[in-house]
Chain A
Amino acid sequence: QVQLQESGPGLLMPSETLSLTCTVSGGSISGHYWGWVRQPPGKGLEWIAYIYYSGKSNYDPSLISRVAMSVDTSRNQFSLELSSVTAADTAVYFCARYLSSGLDLWGQGILVHVSS
């Protein structure tokens, strides 16, 4: 079955760039939309961005100046970069697959802590 796994650093300093990768196993990244969602500790879900396997992407307006997604079909991976992080970016970051307007398959999530 298709599985998603996030990877990346768990600790960043303020002003650094967060780089996360989501590896898709058991299926192809082609033909699907993929997304990133985050959840600050004890708070609700926040939509970050989506990308199509072709590379078409869109981002939350509040993050658009700092965020970028990319896709690597040869490695069956897609990635998220978030620049100039602050403590407010501390969260569990989830990657997920779209089924029409819903995210039907999720990674387990990765906790990213921003602290000096």
Chain B
Amino acid sequence: QSALTQPASVSGSPGQSITISCTGTSSDIGGYFLVSWYQQHPGTAPKLMIYDVSNRPSGVSNRFSGSKSGNTASLTISGLQAEDEAEYYCTSKRSGDTYVFGSGTKVTVL
């Protein structure tokens, strides 16, 4: 099934805020408040940063926030830090009670 659409790369300077978009359809993002975001550093398992659109798991910095409008979800990282440099993936529940990942976004801290 088609992946959700994310920009290939986003960059920012330390201290800045960046936003990563994740675009789907009414059959996934637009139809459910069940979007999650993951951070993955090379060679490691993904880490859950946001679930159910805007909830942060225990231990995740409040510099990370999520939102959704229509068929597009967004992850905002404020106060960008060097350790935020990683690959980020969105995922959403989809009709048929399945899930689909986004294509991934490489975040670079300049």
Contacts and interface: CB of A to CB of B under 8 A. Distances in A.
Contact of B51 (A59, A102, A109): A102
Contacts of B34: 100-101
A104 B3 CA distance: 21
A100 B51 contact: yes
B contact patch SS? strand
A38 to B, nearest CB: 10
Interface string B27-49: 00000101110101000011110
Interface residues of B, number: 30
B46 A103 contact: yes
Interface residues of A, number: 24
B36 A101 contact: yes
Contacts, number: 73
A94 interface: yes
Contact of A58 (B1, B51, B52, B97): B97
B18 interface: no
A contact patch SS? strand
B103 interface: yes
Nearest to A109: B45
Contact of A101 (B3, B45, B51, B102): B51
A99 B58 CA distance: 11
Given A44-B89, A45-B89, A101-B35, A61 B45 contact: no
B104 interface: yes
A-B pairs, top 7 by smallest CB distance, nearest first, are: A102-B51, A101-B34, A102-B36, A106-B45, A44-B104, A47-B99, A45-B101
Interface of A: 35, 37, 44-47, 50, 58-62, 94, 96, 99-104, 106-109
